Structure 1
């Protein structure tokens, strides 16, 4: 182990492991923990030095804001200016794979590094029980992007985290694979109308059903206002070719639906299964160090989030 590395503790999701993870976070250390979407790299959101460690450890640009994870709706209301749309969305889809972006409330106490200097905060209540137990034990917001080197494939298992960040963070809290498999949907509620800032584990149609109005899409030319908006993101080391209807010599294949592929997101064409498998399959294929040909995935429901991640993975770097 080099001088720059530290011993990364392996913790399980029993009460003792959760208590240890919470103690490390309160002390200003970085801890990876699972949510239902992906594993996050957590730091005390009120500790600027700890939050700076997230950016340094991931190699993440400091203009790219972070999500503050909280244990419940009451904790979210202490940080942001709540409104009727937020109340409706939280009642319907929290805990869950939904992040809300709202104006900061006076006295919030969150480090400006979390918001990248913006006057809004992205906040979420995760659904995974051990994540909420950890947040409750910390007793405050935990800033957490995905627990991987910046721009690379998001981690959906503790092994993915260790491969990317082992020796660089204090601990990894392991509670098995993530069920949803793509990051949370980010919904902007700071203005008069709702805006989809990042597609994710909750489909836009489900949001519109709650709010009773259309959700606008973010203009790609707008400044960054939430995580996951960089053009190149979620990328494997290998190149990625999208909407491939055949496989070229020297490529490995990632399929969707019936057919013969190296790995298949869902042989039955189930978009929920495909989302859950996306990052894990990309990790596995990337280990072969060959270009990846990806079969077409329908741009409906969760397919919107899947295609968003695939386009960013395939973008020029």
Structure 2
């Protein structure tokens, strides 16, 4: 075990976090989506420790976070569709999967043996400051045990990964609350994972129809394992009514234990999703029953996370 330190969101705290990354340590930090578990993306041993700390299958690739566009272009083969998406959505909750440049120092453990790389530029101020202090690419999946609920607060990370990572930067709660949209641009433009940027937004920005990944497709990007984001409790979806003994997660004007958004605001619901799942799971209830969520806009990403949380394990 290692001592896990909580670092403040200050210049000194971020300097210490960057030094830890340079020394091969693991540092959890907030992005606008969820807390990421960061390691030097060029250090094989450090990246291997991400898999160890999370208990993550080695065939599941990682997202690399960069401070700016020039850093991204040094890692992947760029194209006009990537440029259009970057101009519209970066910094922000969009990850692009592009062909990996052969002259990069990125660890092959990051790509899980694929010839593509998932990259993004996060919008969160803390993430940006840490990336600039570190001065290189940082591999960072969500900072939680693989398959379990993603963290949106520093306390979630400490409760889950304390003793397995060196540090957590406490930058407060995340604003988006669900992971980034993943757009595949190594061939036909494909939505590989729904998230904070919707399919409709991608279609409009790129001026072309973006395909959707099929359930039978091989894993080509992070976050595609069927059982994922799962609490200890069993999850029951589309609960029109709640049953005795269940923890009740509502949406809209409904009597429940916690309400994702009484006003039926999908942005508010996404921001609350993982935090509320953490709270209800902590009650020890055997089942978390969840109200129906509209399958439109950001609701597509919310339902994607919930269907994975409810999948057989």
Task: With the length of structure 1 as denominator, give the TM-score of the two structures.
Answer: 0.98
Q: In the alignment, which residue of structure 1 is the partner of 2:295?
A: 299
> Displacement, 1:206?
1.0
Q: Distance in 1 between matches of 2:199 and 2:270?
A: 15
CA offset digits 1:16-43 (Å, max 9, x no partner): 0110000000110000000000000000
**Structure 2 residue 278 is the aligned partner of structure 1 residue 283:** yes
Q: In the alignment, which residue of structure 1 is the partner of 2:182?
A: 186
Q: 1:155 aligns with which of 130, 143, 151?
A: 151
**Structure 2 residue 251 is the aligned partner of structure 1 residue 256:** yes
Q: Distance in 2 between matches of 1:171 and 1:232?
A: 27
**Structure 2 residue 77 is the aligned partner of structure 1 residue 75:** no
Alignment of 1:110-129 (within 5 A): 110-129=106-125
Q: Distance in 1 between matches of 2:279 and 2:209?
A: 38
Alignment of 1:124-203 (within 5 A): 124-191=120-187, 193-203=188-198
Q: Distance in 2 between matches of 1:220 and 1:48?
A: 31
Q: Distance in 2 between matches of 1:249 and 1:9?
A: 41
CA offset digits 1:226-260 (Å, max 9, x no partner): 11100000000000000000011111110111111
RMSD (Å) for aligned C-alpha atoms:
0.6
> Displacement, 1:129?
1.1
Q: Distance in 2 between matches of 1:33 and 1:10?
A: 10
Partner SS, residue 269 of structure 2: helix
Q: Distance in 2 between matches of 1:147 and 1:210?
A: 31
Q: 1:237 aligns with which of 232, 256, 260?
A: 232
Larger mean CA deviation between 102-111 and 153-162 belongs to 102-111
Q: Distance in 2 between matches of 1:108 and 1:37?
A: 27
Q: 1:215 aligns with which of 210, 216, 227?
A: 210
Q: In the alignment, which residue of structure 2 is the partner of 1:38?
A: 34
Q: 1:267 aligns with which of 262, 265, 276?
A: 262
Q: Distance in 2 between matches of 1:281 and 1:159?
A: 13
Partner SS, residue 131 of structure 1: helix
CA offset digits 1:166-213 (Å, max 9, x no partner): 11110000110000000000000000x210000011111111110112
> Displacement, 1:66?
0.2
Partner SS, residue 88 of structure 1: helix
Q: Distance in 2 between matches of 1:147 and 1:27?
A: 19
Task: With the length of structure 2 as denominator, give the TM-score of the two structures.
Answer: 0.99
Q: In the alignment, which residue of structure 2 is the partner of 1:27?
A: 23
Which segments of 5 or more consecutive residues in structure 1 lack a partner in the other structure?
Answer: none
Q: In the alignment, which residue of structure 1 is the partner of 2:85?
A: 89
Partner SS, residue 186 of structure 2: coil
> Displacement, 1:106?
2.3
